[in-house]
Amino acid sequence: MLKSILKYLISSLLALVLLSWAFSTSHLHWRDLLLTFFKADYNWVTVSIVIAIISHLLRALRWEQLLGAMKYQPGTVRTFSAVLIGYFANFLVPRLGEVSRCGSLKKTADIPFEESFGTVITERIVDLLSLVVLVGITFIFEWKPLQESLFPTLHLPSGTLIITASVLGLLGLGILWKFKDFLQKVGKESKVGKMILGWVAGIGSIRHLDQPGKFIGYSAGIWLCYYLSTYTLFLAFPMSENLGMSAALTVLVMGTFGMATPTQGGIGAYHSLVASAFVFYSLAYKDGFMLATFFHGTQMITLLLLGGISFILTLFLPKINSRVDQN
């Protein structure tokens, strides 16, 4: 109990420190934020919110497919509600979302916590790999602004970057394949190795899906919706509407890293990273921070509202036995 309280206090303190630092660095005043919010085109904001909700629905459908491979059919209403409850919980306590969504399905669909949590781990591995691919695509298409901001003295053509990254990636895979037996032996003898081998096993479980193509489609659809939701928010503000679709890719990647930090809903880290991303495109840090605050606030309000509604809904949903007869 004490350990959980300490973790919560540390994460809250970290969020407060990061947010305070971002505010002081940007020299932003609350009046500036209010003026920015009043100038927003809420037609585009509404479109962005709708697209974001679709991404959450796709995540629920993908999770439902993983559960189906384990002979459970909880239904979309229960899985969608559980996903939204998980997002809601993450804004209260970092990393509580995974536990909350599995607890929700235990309550409404009688799915053992351990089994549903295993599917969540598989989901997280797939999301991590998707993010790695997204980062690679971002560096390929947005190498110039990133290079000018991060590596001003480095002059490396994007073509050379692609070839170098491809060669190094293939070389790394070749080494892993060459020494796979040795790595498996070492992996079983260490905690980190066991964790990595567990991740590999989790990815391998996807092979048991009835329709793996649908799973890939759901995964691609989730990230496409994330991207479109970000880009449509660009269109809601005069200062960002002309930055282009590729800039939205950079903001999405930086924002994803921010949301992954151990703070409630990525508070503080998201604001700092996204504001810095806008600087890559010659936007003042102050303006970038205002946009980051609006982007994050839109997500937070939507997820807290929908998550709260979902929690209330689960109180009235009858508990079912979602286990499908294997005979």
> What does the pLDDT look like over 238-281, one tens digit per residue?
989 898 888 899 899 888 988 887 777 777 788 888 888 888 88
- The number of distinct structural domains making up the chain is 1
Q: Report the C-alpha gap between 254 and 258 in whole angstroms.
A: 6
Asked, for residue 37, whether it belongs to a domain, the answer is: yes
Strand partners, 308: none
Asked, for residue 322, whether it belongs to a domain, the answer is: no
Strand partners, 72: 323
Asked, for residue 325, whether it belongs to a domain, the answer is: no
Range of the domain at 161: 2-314
Distance set, CA 305 to CA 128, 142, 269, 297, 312 (Å): 27, 35, 22, 12, 11
Write the pLDDT tens digit of every residue in 63-95. Answer: 999 888 888 899 999 999 999 999 998 887 777
Assign 111 to helix, strand or coil. coil
Asked, for residue 88, whether it belongs to a domain, the answer is: yes
Residue 85's nearest CA partner among 300, 263, 310 is: 310
Judged by average pLDDT, the poorest of 87-96, 100-109, 180-189 is: 180-189
Q: Give the pLDDT of residue 85.
A: 93
Write the pLDDT tens digit of every residue in 50-62. Answer: 999 999 999 999 9
Query: How many Cα atoms occupy the beta-carbon half-sphere of 137 within 13 Å?
Result: 17
Write the pLDDT tens digit of every residue in 120-173. Answer: 888 888 898 888 888 878 877 776 665 555 444 445 455 555 556 566 666 765
Tell me the DSSP string of 269-290. Answer: HHHHHHHHHHHTTT--HHHHHH
Residues in the chain: 327
Q: Give the pLDDT of residue 12.
A: 52
Confidence bin at 219 (pLDDT 50/70/90):
very high
Asked, for residue 321, whether it belongs to a domain, the answer is: no
Asked, for residue 50, whether it belongs to a domain, the answer is: yes
- Which pair of tokens denotes residue 51? 């697209």
The amino acid present at 84, given as its one-letter code, is L
Between 230 and 154, residue with greater pLDDT: 230
